Amino acid sequence: MGKFSNKTIFITGAGGGIGKAIALAFAKKGANIALVDVKKEYVDSLVEEVQALGSKALALAVDVTDYQSVRDAVSETVAFFGTLDIAVNNAGVVGIGSIEEIDEQEWDRVLSVNAKGVFICTKAVLEVMKPQKSGAIINTASIAGKMGMAHLSHYVASKFAVIGFTNSIAKEVAETGITVNAICPGIIGTGMWRGEGGIADRWKQPGETEAQSWERNKKSLIPQGTDQSAEDIADAVLFIASAPHITGQAIAVDGGMTM
């Protein structure tokens, strides 16, 4: 029997680097997992990985910016597993550009997934958690929710929004026994940072390769000098999910970037 046996976890952005690590960490502790991403094929192979660990998984194709779809996915999760105990609202997109480069459409794209998506998912899961008077909600913010970063202003605005929203809902539901926290990853080499169009690629200096930019940026930005793994973030999420008296916090796993 794992620590999260018979618990059901609802994870958005489950097909991405961090979401996948969180899903597998919960699966190793015996939890049932609802794997949510924009396309089902992003999580299909993860369903098999979760099942291979002896846990149950459900793949759901949902756009977190669409309230009705998220509500339907929450209902499907409860119908399939019988409960919904922990929600990890982790789906996110990055946007890079100077104030001149960011137009209204680009602002709306980033704020809509990162901020509105967290609002929608929190609202939908609370419809189940409030009547049952228990639950844990963990919203993925970022170090970008704690400090300004040049050429990431709309991404930073979206993550400050996640932390402010998290703190407010944590207060609003504090007496129900539901905890609401944010996790703030530092720098993790997922699709967001690595590869074509990722942050390391966009932040290349003249003559630098993407890999060299990655090495330079993580050394210059992180006091510990080394990046964090998706598993580091998963470990912290599992800790928060099992801590009944931690609420309204934005916990950074960032090698000291926001100290």
Ligand X SMILES: NC(=O)c1ccc[n+]([C@@H]2O[C@H](COP(=O)([O-])OP(=O)(O)OC[C@H]3O[C@@H](n4cnc5c(N)ncnc54)[C@H](O)[C@@H]3O)[C@@H](O)[C@H]2O)c1
In b/e form, how buried is each residue of 6-44, taking b as 16+ CB within 10 angstroms? Answer: ebbbbbbbbbbbbbbbbbbbbbbbbbbbbbbbbeeebbe
Q: Does 57 bind ligand X (CB under 6 A)?
A: no
Beta carbons of 25 and 231 less than 8 angstroms apart: yes
Q: Where does residue 47 fall: left (phi above 0), alpha (psi -120 to 50 degrees), or beta otherwise?
A: alpha
- 19 near ligand X (CB under 6 A): yes
Residue choice 24, 86, 181, 185 for contact with ligand X (CB under 6 A): 185
Amino acid at 95: G
59-34-79-115 Cα dihedral, nearest 10 degrees: -100
Q: Does 246 bind ligand X (CB under 6 A)?
A: no
Q: Which of the ranges 36-44, 146-154, 204-212, 214-222 carries the binding residues for ligand X, by CB under 6 A?
A: 36-44
* 142 is an interface residue for ligand X by CB under 6 A: yes
- Check binding of 13 to ligand X (CB under 6 A): yes
State the nearest-atom distance from the C-beta of 48 to ligand X, in Å.
17
Give the residue numbers marked as catalytic. Answer: 155
Contact status: 213 vs ligand X (CB under 6 A):
no
What 3-state DSSP class applies to 8? strand
Binding residues for ligand X, rule: CB under 6 A, are 12-13, 15-19, 37-38, 42, 62-65, 90-93, 113, 117, 140, 142, 185, 187-188, 190-193
